[in-house]
Amino acid sequence: MLEGESQADESMLTGESRRVFKTSGDPVYAGTHNQGGRLIIRATATGQGTALADIVRLIQRAEGHRARIQRLVDQITAIFVPVVVFLAILTFVAWSWAPGKMLIFVRGLEPILWPPLLFESPLTAAMVHAVSVLMVACPCAMGLATPVAIMAGVRAAASRGILIQGGMALEKVGALDTVVFDKTGTLTQGKPQVMDQLTVSGKPSDTDNQRLRSVLHAMAVESRHPLSQALAAGMPYQETDATKLSYLKEIAGAGLEAARSPTPQATDVYRLGSLRWLETMSIEFSDAARAFMEHWECRGASLVGFSQGPELRLLIALQDALKPQALEVVQWLLSHGYQVELMSGDGERASHHVASELGLKPEQVKACLRPADKLHAIQALQAKGLSVAFVGDGMNDAPVLQQADLGISVSQASDLARAASDMTLVRADIASIPEAMQLSGATLRTIHQNLFWAFFYNAVAVPVAMMGFLHPLVCALAMGMSDLLVVGNALRLNARWRQSWASLKSHGSNL
């Protein structure tokens, strides 16, 4: 930056919810937002040299190193048909060349099973039993076991506001043991809110209080700064002619200065802004004010002061509040054996305060991280043998969503974050995460049930057909019923998934 002063929104790069003060000599980044003020900048990088291009390269690099899940079922299915053909040929050869020995073997099994099919001609018996083997063998059941369950699971998830990018995402959930959250916009609302306020000067009347808050609102509503907008939305006021401003000035990096008279006296000037700026204006802070400041600074809150003349009248604490049910979601994950961590581009105080509200320990928090730092942190967890899910929403989270074993983007995530994720939560809250975990687990169990049935059916039916105990018509009916059983079991997911978040908290999955 060559000239000017302003506040920059760099959340798309860093995830930091607070605006960064910029002045001459400071770097600014392509894609970030100037929140007010005239700036003259010199471009030091363009195209592939920008920070945004670095994020895209990180995504591509993470995509190239992504582990591929080996599909055991596909490998078995690929050799199943040749094996069945071989067994059918073996059956034909055995019944045509050694019918006597086959009859002796079959007669020994007859008391356990039922009377076999017998033919006068060995060649007829060989042909019928070989055809029975081909008809009863059911590669369809094995082939349908996984895709039908995945289709039903994805559809059930979509009805619950969970968009899943293919079946591989469902499979990954079963191996997860660690869930990492981004803070800003994921666990928190992503914008500051008024948390508390302190009336400093004496005990003003209700009328005086209303006038002060009305003046404060009239000043805040004119500014584009996020803290000012939060004050305008969160401070009660009553507009009157006595609170109309004739003079308002915004001082970049400091705050707002206003007066109700065109030629105000020193005692009639109102200031709303940072405490450091107010101190430079010779405004004193009482012991009660400093105790209030210390209390909220330890919690990572932003503090704003409002003064009239030389007196501090109000102190307001603003903070990015947790989303509803964020605590319940984190506690649910911990109670179900998941390791939970928090990664954020925000400062240490704000990150650790959010972690403490969620019941996380200090060692489970990593703060002041840029996108590359988050990526390296995820890779370090994976190097320990952990299977990691990352939940984020910002453009800066896209490389990490791509690198994680399972990437989950929340509602209103950037297009880049959604493209890099395996799951997208349509609803604004994160209560869908336990639902996604439960539904994915139910889908995996359904896949395992289908595969067990498919393998059990073929392991039993094919040898029985080889021994001549099954008629070809029975084989055809059994094969069709096997397919119907696999499909019907998968469709239970869509029919029975009617749980709400409250039932998940209290009872867990009943599938």
Determine the Cα–Cα distance for residues 130 and 84; give it in Å rounded to an integer. Answer: 10
Other CB atoms within 10 Å distance of the CB of residue 260: 18
Determine the Cα–Cα distance for residues 5 and 8; give it in Å rounded to an integer. Answer: 10
**Residue 134 belongs to what H/E stretch?**
helix 122-136
Closest to 163 (Cα-Cα) out of 492, 413, 487: 413
Q: Which two tokens stand for residue 16?
A: 């930091």
- Which residue matches tokens 């979509």? 158
- CB distance 105 to 445 below 8 Å: no
Q: How many CA atoms within 13 Å lie on the side-chain side of 34?
A: 16
**Residue 81 belongs to what H/E stretch?**
helix 72-97
Q: Please, which residues bridge with residue 407 across strands?
A: 390
Chain length of the chain: 511
**Residue 335 belongs to what H/E stretch?**
helix 326-335
Determine the Cα–Cα distance for residues 495 and 185; give it in Å rounded to an integer. Answer: 33
Determine the Cα–Cα distance for residues 278 and 471; give it in Å rounded to an integer. Answer: 94
CA dihedral of 84, 86, 92, 93, whole degrees rounded to 10: -160
Determine the Cα–Cα distance for residues 60 and 332; give it in Å rounded to an integer. Answer: 33
Closest to 166 (Cα-Cα) out of 150, 144, 148: 150
**Residue 89 belongs to what H/E stretch?**
helix 72-97
Tell me which of 177, 182, 241, 429 is the catalytic residue: 182
Closest to 186 (Cα-Cα) out of 470, 383, 23, 397: 397
- 182 as an active site residue: the answer is yes
Determine the Cα–Cα distance for residues 422 and 409; give it in Å rounded to an integer. Answer: 8
Phi-psi domain of 209 (left: phi exceeds 0; alpha: psi -120 through 50; beta: other)? alpha
For residue 289, give every residue at least 6 positions away whose Cβ sits within 8 Å of its Cβ, in sequence order, or none: 198, 200, 312, 315
Phi, psi of 135 (to 5 degrees): -80, -35
Catalytic residues: 182
